[in-house]
Amino acid sequence: MKASVVPDTAPALAWLKRKATKKSLDGMARYAIPSDRAFGVSMKDVQALAKELGRDHALAQALWDTRWYEAQLLAAYVDDPAQVTVAQMNRWCRAFDNWAVCDTLCYALFDRTPHAWARAEAWAGSREEYVKRAGFAMLWSLSVHDKGAPDARFIAGLAWIAEGAVDERHYVKKAVNMALRAVGKRNAALHASAIATATRLAASSDDTARWVGRDALSELRSASVLRRVSKKAQSARPKT
């Protein structure tokens, strides 16, 4: 059997190094992103390189394994969702050590795979901080990208949110909150369900759950969201 050839990551890494700036590298600290394995490249440039490279599953694997921050972001845009396996998703997810890589992988790659919903549910019940965040980041991103998903999937997601809302770890509670707000902005029916969930959480005796609920209600009841939901409801009505 012919041995598989590992793609050469050197050209991509060299490109990233050329685009690096001290300002970008120093700025990572403001967003609590570790910079010991980073060049300091803007997301705009990472996405530009991904567009040049195109989809390449093997290259994405090799980029991920370099452990460079920008290379792992690049892997999210280069990988082919159809070729991503559950084992790969679990392996990469367990390696997350910051919110930026976690959210980018979920929002740009994982939520486009055939395994997205099953992984979201499994990860939302995890005890590991960034794995759990990934579960709710997936729910958030699926609410935006999975246009054909039935409301029942998101109703189930609201139950995960209610359970996860008592987790006081910063990166978990922020993701739970984002997921709740995102589900509530999907359509009128889910807006009502999300409002009900947020209202129950806002009345909780648990400090973290109460914060998640109150913060979500602040946005979900805002004039801009109400207009958005109303517009979606109108466009969904059958034409007469």
pLDDT, one tens digit per residue, over 155-204 is 999 999 999 999 999 999 999 999 999 999 999 999 999 999 999 999 99
Task: State the total domains in the chain.
Answer: 2
End residue of a domain, out of 23, 45, 79: 79
* Residue 162 Cα to chain centre, angstroms: 19
Sole residue written with tokens 């969201």: 225
The backbone torsions φ and ψ at residue 221, rounded to the nearest 5 degrees and listed phi first, read -95, 5
Kindly list the distances between the CA atom of residue 138 and the CA atoms of 39, 61, 105, 183, 234, in Å, as whole numbers in the listed order.
27, 20, 9, 11, 28
Looking at the structure, tell me whether residues 38 and 70 fall in a common domain. Answer: yes
Half-sphere exposure of 119 (CA within 13 A, CB side): 28
Looking at the structure, tell me whether residues 122 and 222 fall in a common domain. Answer: yes
3 found inside a domain: no
Looking at the structure, tell me whether residues 150 and 228 fall in a common domain. Answer: yes
Looking at the structure, tell me whether residues 153 and 48 fall in a common domain. Answer: no
Q: How far apart are CA 82 and CA 212, in angstroms?
A: 34
Looking at the structure, tell me whether residues 70 and 138 fall in a common domain. Answer: no
Q: Is the pLDDT of residue 2 over 70?
A: no
93 found inside a domain: no
Sole residue written with tokens 């530009």: 48
* Residue 47 Cα to chain centre, angstroms: 16
What token pair was written down for 152?
């029942």
Looking at the structure, tell me whether residues 116 and 199 fall in a common domain. Answer: yes
Task: Quote the pLDDT of residue 71.
Answer: 98
Looking at the structure, tell me whether residues 146 and 67 fall in a common domain. Answer: no
Q: How far apart are CA 25 and CA 92, in angstroms?
A: 23
Give the pLDDT mean for 133-145.
98
Half-sphere exposure of 234 (CA within 13 A, CB side): 6
1 found inside a domain: no
Looking at the structure, tell me whether residues 124 and 50 fall in a common domain. Answer: no
Q: How far apart are CA 210 and CA 218, in angstroms?
A: 12
Give the pLDDT mean for 35-41.
96
199 found inside a domain: yes
Confidence of residue 240 (pLDDT cuts 50, 70, 90): low
Nearest residue to 164 (alpha-carbon basis) of 174, 150, 155, 154: 174
32 found inside a domain: yes
Looking at the structure, tell me whether residues 220 and 108 fall in a common domain. Answer: yes
What token pair was written down for 167?
């987790």
Q: Which letter does DSSP use for residue 32 in this model?
A: T
53 found inside a domain: yes
What token pair was written down for 91?
């392996």
Looking at the structure, tell me whether residues 108 and 222 fall in a common domain. Answer: yes
Residues 141 and 157 sit within 8 Å (Cβ to Cβ): no
Q: Is the pLDDT of residue 3 over 80?
A: no
pTM over 0.75: yes
Q: Is the pLDDT of residue 33 over 50?
A: yes
Task: Quote the pLDDT of residue 51.
Answer: 97
Of the chain, the percentage scoring pLDDT greater than 70 comes to 98
Confidence of residue 1 (pLDDT cuts 50, 70, 90): very low
Looking at the structure, tell me whether residues 50 and 143 fall in a common domain. Answer: no
190 found inside a domain: yes
* pLDDT tens, position by position, 94-111: 999 999 999 999 999 999
Domain ranges, residue 38: 8-79
Task: Quote the pLDDT of residue 238.
Answer: 72
* pLDDT tens, position by position, 199-211: 999 999 999 999 9
Looking at the structure, tell me whether residues 111 and 52 fall in a common domain. Answer: no
Q: Specify the amino acid at residue 114.
A: P
Q: Is the pLDDT of residue 87 over 60?
A: yes
Burial class (CB in 10 A: 0-12, 13-18, 19+), 207: exposed
95 found inside a domain: no
